[in-house]
A and B are shown apart, each in its own frame.
Chain A
Amino acid sequence: MNESVNTEAAVDSKLAVEIRQMHKWYGQFHVLKDINLDVTRGEKIVICGPSGSGKSTMIRCINRLEEHQQGDIIVDGVELTNDLKNIEAVRREVGMVFQHFNLFPHLTVLENCVLAPIWVRKTPRKEAEEIAMQYLERVKIPDQALKFPGQLSGGQQQRVAIARSLCMKPRIMLFDEPTSALDPEMIKEVLDVMIELASEGITMLCVTHEMGFAKTVADRVIFMDGGEVIEENKPDSFFDNPQHERTKLFLSQILDH
């Protein structure tokens, strides 16, 4: 049944995400203007830019939490249209980590992690729990498995959120400012987990202002402003030799303190 999907995937087998001439409007407001982006498999991309520049909107278009009105988005060989089947297929393969964690407060950490594997992937509960424990160990909080999210610190919650996404064994991970709601001492524990994850070959798109993280793991940094991609480059050139005035201004602002 996945014949067409597979052949398409084979054609673009190197591309995890393909965005072509994509536009998006909120009512009259043109949020995203002519976005073009190819992400190869295993590539780590960091997206930055001033507040309101459309970073979240763009990354949320990739798993269709937001709908685009023009252009194409092809994720893992599947084109995002109004077809619910395609959307669900994409969401199964794309994990997302949010700024405010969005853990389910009425479920324990373990239940948070096994929910989607059980209901979406139809994994047997026992197996799902074993996988969940593996990932909780990887994010270094297996001992919190039976607690409720409300009983954990922010950093721990965000690590649970990462583990929860990983339990679906996604091929692509989206991060939307995963550390910006955290206190400084917790940022590092989350970034460490992300750096470790980056070393394992998963495709990552990450909206963040953590420039240290960008320098260590990013293959490419994308700078957005006013709904457009202004500049994209390898991290070294991006930070040392920004081309565009707006990029220079932005970098001077965030690196100055």
Chain B
Amino acid sequence: MTDQMKTKQYVPGEHPDMPPPAGISGPVAWVKNNLLSSPLNVVLTVISLWALYKIVPGSLEWMFFDAAYTGKDRNECLAKAGGACWAFVGERFELFTYGFYPAEERWRVNLAFILLPIALIPILWDKCPFRKIGIWFAIAYPFIAGWLLLGGFGLESVPTDKFGGFMLTLVIGVTGITFSLPIGILLALGRMSNLPIIRMFSVCFIEFIRGVPLITLLFVASTMLSYFLPPGTSFDLLLRVLIMVTLFASAYMAEVIRGGLQAIPKGQTEAADSMGLKYWQSMRLIVLPQALKISIPGIVNTFIGLYKDSVLVIVIGLLDPLGIGRASVATTEWGGLSTEIYVFVAIFFFISCFAMSRYSLYLERKLETSHKR
């Protein structure tokens, strides 16, 4: 009431800007509005706090404060630890990272690891200095890394059955991600094409690959292909896996991108056509930038799925971190530490996937500005 009286003091048209009344902003107001706004909300807040109190301190104690970090084997380590025993991480770190890659050649893996962020930064960060050169390097990276890891052309060659651990996960993840996006784009465009043969091919491919579980495809990769290929040709198992994982992700990618393409109004291509742009120009300059932008959550979702699905190679005998973890659980030195070992592998995957998810949010927010009114 009194507020209303006050506003009347100004001549219409001359009301000055005023600060908001106390209590609509600030931390106290935030707590009031978000945590304690209704009886139900109060109950939920209390339950949440209680759950956090029960879970967090205990976990922290187990994971860090009561944990032991050194020891030659399980018994030595467990003797020191009230909680977790992380000694195997240090002892078996090389195995977890490189698999069975020959020790004297591991610098090549290290170099490939180091070059990876150098290749990624120009792609992920648009204000990076020397971005043009950086992007060329990024395009060349899969081939450089492939050469470093496999050898040949002056380097001693390392057979792919020596690959394992985080390195294997990264090889599968990076290859799958690099190739599934362009293949997915082509399949999505193909599925929406006016040319019946191209459309048919894309539809059949997508529906077939999506309709079969990845494990089945991996078994096909590991056994069936050798029936089809002429006898005597050896077709590397890892390469077959990479192809299958990439195709599998491409099919999902295609559907995600098709969703994005369908959300672009027809007027956009009509405007591009009416100015004389050719099909590929209008796709590249007008339609895809917009379609990919709205597909970012789905694309990153597919990336994360692909990355995590890489653990399935365990079923055809490749040793990714999970496989090495399982093998470690079975050894005499570290047997019985299954919780620690699986938590360790889980943390590795969580960190990579969470980073991807955060980056996608950042990208969405950055690209959003152009739409805002």
A residues with CB within 8 A of B: 63, 65, 88, 91-92, 94-96, 98, 100, 102-106, 115-116, 119-120, 148, 150-151, 164-165, 168
Cα separation A54 to B111 with both chains bound (whole Å): 66
B residues with CB within 8 A of A: 265, 267-268, 270-271, 273-278, 281, 285-286, 289-290, 293, 367, 369-373
Determine if B276 and A105 form an interchain contact, defined as CB atoms under 8 angstroms apart: no
Nearest residue (CB) in B for A161 is B271
> B270: which A residues are within 8 A, CB to CB?
65, 98, 102
Q: A102-B267, A104-B268, A119-B285 are in contact. Are A65 and B274 (CB under 8 A)?
A: yes
For the complex with contacts A104-B271, A150-B370, A150-B371, 4 further pairs of A-B residues with Cβ separation under 8 Å are A65-B270, A88-B278, A96-B274, A102-B270
> B289: which A residues are within 8 A, CB to CB?
106
> A119: which B residues are within 8 A, CB to CB?
277, 281, 285
Determine if A98 and B277 form an interchain contact, defined as CB atoms under 8 angstroms apart: no
> B276: which A residues are within 8 A, CB to CB?
88, 91-92, 116, 120, 168
Nearest residue (CB) in A for B284 is A119
> B370: which A residues are within 8 A, CB to CB?
105-106, 148, 150
> A168: which B residues are within 8 A, CB to CB?
275-276
> A165: which B residues are within 8 A, CB to CB?
275
Cα separation A120 to B279 with both chains bound (whole Å): 12
> A88: which B residues are within 8 A, CB to CB?
276, 278
> A95: which B residues are within 8 A, CB to CB?
274-275
Cα separation A168 to B275 with both chains bound (whole Å): 8
> A164: which B residues are within 8 A, CB to CB?
275
Specify which of B267, B293, B371, B372 is in contact with A100 (CB 8 Å cutoff): B267
Nearest residue (CB) in B for A91 is B276
Determine if A151 and B373 form an interchain contact, defined as CB atoms under 8 angstroms apart: yes
Q: A148-B370, A150-B370, A150-B373 are in contact. Are A94 and B290 (CB under 8 A)?
A: no
Ranked 8 nearest A-B pairs via Cβ: A116-B275, A102-B271, A102-B267, A91-B276, A96-B274, A92-B276, A120-B276, A148-B370
Cα separation A142 to B281 with both chains bound (whole Å): 27
Cα separation A95 to B270 with both chains bound (whole Å): 12
> A91: which B residues are within 8 A, CB to CB?
273-276
> B371: which A residues are within 8 A, CB to CB?
105-106, 148, 150
> B369: which A residues are within 8 A, CB to CB?
148
Cα separation A88 to B273 with both chains bound (whole Å): 9
**Considering residues B265, B281, B370, B372, which has the most beta carbons from chain A within 10 angstroms of its beta carbon?**
B370
